Amino acid sequence: MKPPISSSSVLIRKARLSPYLLILLAFIVFVTVLYGQDFMWIFSQQLQLYADQGQPVSTTEKKWEKLPFAIGKTQEGCDVFSGSWVRDELTRPHYQESDCPYIQPQLTCQEHGRPDKEYQYWKWQPHDCSLPNFNATLMLETLRGKRMMFVGDSLNRGQYVSMVCLLHKLIPKDEKSMETFDSLTVFTAKKYNATIEFYWAPFLLESNSDNAVIHRISDRIVRKGSINKHGRYWKGVDILVFNTYLWWVTGSKMKILLGSFDDEVKEIVELSTEDAYRMAMKSMLRWVRNNMDPKKTRVFFTSMSPSHAKSIDWGGEPGLNCYNQTTLIEDPNYWGSDCQRSIMEVIGEVFSKSKFPITFLNITQLSNYRKDAHTSIYKKQWNPLTPEQIAKPSSYADCLHWCLPGLQDTWNELLFAKLFYP
Ligand SMILES: *[C@@H]1O[C@H](CO)[C@@H](O)[C@H](O)[C@H]1NC(C)=O
Ligand SMILES: *[C@@H]1O[C@H](CO)[C@@H](O)[C@H](O)[C@H]1NC(C)=O
Ligand SMILES: *[C@@H]1O[C@H](CO)[C@@H](O)[C@H](O)[C@H]1NC(C)=O
Ligand SMILES: *[C@@H]1O[C@H](CO)[C@@H](O)[C@H](O)[C@H]1NC(C)=O
């Protein structure tokens, strides 16, 4: 509105000098009123233009600019996590399984005999906007002199490996390495002085499942208030990506240790999954507030990764699972029975109160449609299969983890979108 008003106020001052100008002013006012709508329209177009060019006009629009690494913003009102899968044989997959030597044998489905590649050709299309193309150069340049770290369980490890696969092609062979030290795996891009790391902490807090190799413990115990046990290894990281979910789902109450794992007589209380999970989320947020700088660093949290262990959930033949599934679930409201909505509610509740800007990657719904994308039986088997298992492949299919390339590359496309265009 400013330009028309200020120019007519100049005219008012001049009008005192000349009745001729007064008539001219009356005429201008008349025209302004007559075409007011058009002025408004032209002006709102200009505002729109400024917003598009990254010169936001209001403080709410400015918010994203304060986030480190942001170079633009996602279209107003577009929820990038709400959309559908579209077939794309031109730009997918982002890489070939055989071209990424960092994929662990639990996720190399082709190498382990998966007969189809259908699961590699899907692209996520949000309903109200398009995702920016994953630009590996931009991502790697952004990581120059920096550390990016994924913290959580084997599903987060999958997303970590996907990120490494998406970037490693840009780095010559002798200028990169991948090493593991206990709970920490570090991919180094030497000339970039950049690392992409994974830290095993399936509960984020200290637990009796913290051994990165031997952690299959049925009687899981998590120690209250113990986030620093692992958190000291996350200090100094520039981009942190957390997840935690699967290990909390035990089918019964969660055992919470009040003292220390070294106590002879352990003081243990039992909490509902939701209360235990809330406790861990709050600990994580406290750690983030105390150790991360919102002006220089970014923190992401990836929501629950769904499983597909019960074919009746999607109206399939009873007693089966993700084994031999090559098509997507088409019901837009599909939600697997293994996926606890109450945990999603806890996440929503805890984040809505967070003072630190944590970026939430809500990948649950979009992954729920992907019963075709699991590793199923096409992975390295640690123990020889029994004749009973061989006779019934669904009995040993892995319906938790995801083949690479595949679904988890999309999680990283979403991470990319939220990192640069929050
Ligand atoms: C990717 O990012 C780099 C570095 O910012 C830029 O030079 C390049 O033009 C981008 N590529 C595409 C296809 O947008
Ligand atoms: C390399 O990156 C680290 C942060 O990850 C930084 O502390 C260090 O100064 C960098 N070194 C060089 C030579 O740039
Ligand atoms: C896999 O599913 C197809 C139908 O989609 C079916 O014809 C075939 O028999 C199934 N294979 C096995 C081994 O169950
Ligand atoms: C994540 O997305 C699902 C489905 O779109 C929605 O029901 C849920 O509320 C979202 N979670 C949060 C914490 O926003």
Whats the size of the chain, residue-wise?
Answer: 422
More confident residue, 390 or 11: 390
Task: Determine the distance separating the centroid of ligand 1 and the alpha carbon of 76, expressed in angstroms.
Answer: 23
C-alpha count within 13 angstroms, C-beta hemisphere, residue 393 = 11
Catalytic residue among 238, 313, 372, 398: 398
- Nearest C-alpha neighbor of 66 from the set 350, 298, 312: 298
Tokens 């403080």 sit at which residue? 59
Ligand 4 in reach of 347 Cβ (< 6 A): yes
- The ligand that comes nearest to the alpha carbon of residue 190 is 2
Helices (H), 35-152: 36-52, 59-62, 136-142
In the residue annotation, 272 being an active-site residue is answered as: no
Q: What is the 3-state secondary structure (H, E, C) of 176-245?
A: EEEEEECCEEEEEEHHHCEEEEEEECCCCCCECCCCCCCCCCCCCEEECCCHHHHHCCCCCCCEEEEECC
Ligand 2 in reach of 194 Cβ (< 6 A): no
- 119 three-state secondary structure: helix
pLDDT digits (tens, 9 = 90+) for 39-68: 343 333 333 333 333 334 444 455 667 899
Q: What is the 3-state secondary structure (H, E, C) of 306-373?
A: CCCCCHHHHCCCCCCCCCCCCCCCCCCCCCCCCCCHHHHHHHHHHHHCCCCCEEEECCHHHHHCCCCC
In the residue annotation, 308 being an active-site residue is answered as: no
Q: Is the per-residue pLDDT at 180 higher than 90? A: yes
pLDDT at site 52: 35
pLDDT digits (tens, 9 = 90+) for 216-244: 888 999 999 999 999 999 999 999 999 99
402 pLDDT band (50/70/90 cuts)? very high
Answer yes or no: are the C-beta atoms of 284 and 230 closer than 8 Å: no
Least confident of 58-67, 102-111, 115-124, 128-137: 58-67
User: How many other β-carbons are positioned within 10 Å of the β-carbon of residue 250?
Assistant: 14
Write down the pTM of the prediction.
0.86
pLDDT digits (tens, 9 = 90+) for 156-170: 999 999 999 999 999
Least confident of 25-29, 107-111, 206-210, 376-380: 25-29
User: For the chain, what is the total number of helices (H) and then of strands (E)?
Assistant: 12, 14
317 pLDDT band (50/70/90 cuts)? very high
Mention every residue, 6+ apart, whose C-beta is less than 8 A from residue 210.
183, 200, 201, 202, 230
- Nearest C-alpha neighbor of 180 from the set 206, 211, 220: 211
- Cα separation, 245 vs 305, in Å, equals 8
More confident residue, 342 or 4: 342
CA distances from 205 to 2, 20, 232, 287 (A): 55, 80, 12, 11
- The ligand that comes nearest to the alpha carbon of residue 186 is 2
Least confident of 71-75, 114-118, 282-286, 292-296: 71-75
Q: Is the per-residue pLDDT at 382 higher than 50? A: yes
Query: Can you tell me the mean pLDDT for 94-100?
Result: 98
Task: Determine the distance separating the centroid of ligand 1 and the alpha carbon of 220, expressed in angstroms.
Answer: 46
Q: In what order do the strands lie in the sheet with 254-257?
A: 221-223, 254-257, 268-271
User: How many other β-carbons are positioned within 10 Å of the β-carbon of residue 210?
Assistant: 21
Looking from the CA of residue 141, the nearest atom of ligand 1 is 4
Ligand 4 in reach of 362 Cβ (< 6 A): yes
pLDDT at site 49: 30
